[in-house]
């Protein structure tokens, strides 16, 4: 004999309506994290201070060399000054690209596709080649899947100037898709049909 009462209705489940509380909590946590990440003025790089530290350390190292092997002090200072200024110019270009990308992402009404295109354009303008074709498999690593075909999980990024790989792409193995005939009729050849059956 069953212990259930006949005709008893199941308890109604309540569906929580979105109130935005979780979204606001996540936004507050993100803002707090950004505050912790923000550089303080005393942490910012100062070219003059950086150059002074480099020069002092260089003098210490040069003092350990025999007199006949030491370069002239003015030559060392000139080279260090040029290196520091070049490093700051490079940093300024990098920061400008990041700011441009963030500014693009804040554009109101921009679709996700347009945002991706804008970021991709910025990368190409910066001299970065984005490889999202499985034909250049040497720039990818296979991370998952089974089959003899491939699909791109993440593109690969290369420096156009040097050809150096910045970030390798990721591929997923997938079953090979049937090939379409050249005539474009949409019919499959007999060998492909046999493979699928």
Report DSSP letters for 168-190, one per residue. -EEEEEEPPPPPPPTT-S-PPPH
Higher-confidence residue: 105 or 183? 105
Task: State how far the alpha carbon of 65 is from the alpha carbons of 17, 62, 78, 128, 178, in Å.
Answer: 75, 5, 19, 42, 70
pLDDT recorded at residue 156: 93
The pLDDT score that the predictor gives to residue 179 is 64
Would the pLDDT of 24 be above 50? yes
pLDDT at 190 over 60: no
User: Please, are residues 151 and 135 in contact by the beta-carbon 8 Å criterion?
Assistant: no
The model's confidence at residue 155, banded by pLDDT at 50, 70 and 90, is very high
Task: Point out the least confidently predicted range of 53-57, 113-117, 125-129.
Answer: 53-57
pLDDT over 70 (residue 186): no
Distance of CA 149 to CAs 130, 131, 135, 169, Å? Answer: 21, 17, 11, 16
pLDDT of the residue at 196: 45
Long-range contacts at 65-71 (CB < 8 A, ≥ 24 apart): none
Averaged pLDDT for residues 93-97: 81
158: confidence class by pLDDT, cuts 50, 70, 90: very high
Asked if 70 contacts 62 with a C-beta cutoff of 8 angstroms, the reply is: yes
Sole residue written with tokens 């984005």: 130
Q: Which residues contact 6 (CB under 8 A, 6 or more apart)?
A: none
Burial zone of 145 (CB within 10 Å; 0-12 exposed, 13-18 middle, 19+ buried): middle
Where on the phi/psi map is residue 177: left (φ > 0), alpha (ψ -120 to 50), or beta? Answer: beta
**Residues 97-112: pLDDT tens digits?**
878 877 877 776 778 8
Of 75-79, 112-116, 154-158, give the lowest mean pLDDT range. 75-79
Q: From its phi and psi, is residue 23 left (phi > 0), alpha (psi between -120 and 50) or beta?
A: alpha
pLDDT greater than 70 at residue 152: yes
Q: Span 74-91, mean pLDDT? A: 81
Is pLDDT at 89 greater than 60 in this prediction?
Answer: yes
Put simply, whether the predicted model's pTM sits higher than 0.75 gets the answer: no
C-alpha dihedral sign at 108, 114, 119, 123: negative
Average pLDDT over residues 67-77: 75
Q: What is the mean pLDDT of residues 38-50?
A: 64
Q: Is 85 helix (H, G, I), strand (E, B) or coil?
A: helix
């Amino acid at each position: 004999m069953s212990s259930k009462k006949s005709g008893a209705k199941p308890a109604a489940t309540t569906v929580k309506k979105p109130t935005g509380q979780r979204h606001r909590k996540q936004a507050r946590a993100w803002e707090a994290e950004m505050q912790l990440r923000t550089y303080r003025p005393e942490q910012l790089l100062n070219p003059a201070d950086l150059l002074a530290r480099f020069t002092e350390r260089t003098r210490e190292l040069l003092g350990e060399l025999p007199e006949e092997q030491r370069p002239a002090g003015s030559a060392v200072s000139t080279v260090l000054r040029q290196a520091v200024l070049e490093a700051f110019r490079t940093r300024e270009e990098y920061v400008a690209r990041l700011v441009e990308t963030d500014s693009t992402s804040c554009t109101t009404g921009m679709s996700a596709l347009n945002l991706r295109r804008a970021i991709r354009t910025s990368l190409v303008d910066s001299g970065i080649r984005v490889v999202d074709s499985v034909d250049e498999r040497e720039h990818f690593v296979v991370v998952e899947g089974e089959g003899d075909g491939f699909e791109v999980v993440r593109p690969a990024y290369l420096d156009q100037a040097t050809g150096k790989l910045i970030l390798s792409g990721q591929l997923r193995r997938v079953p090979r898709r049937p090939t379409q005939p050249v005539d474009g009729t949409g019919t499959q050849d007999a060998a492909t049909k046999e493979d699928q059956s």
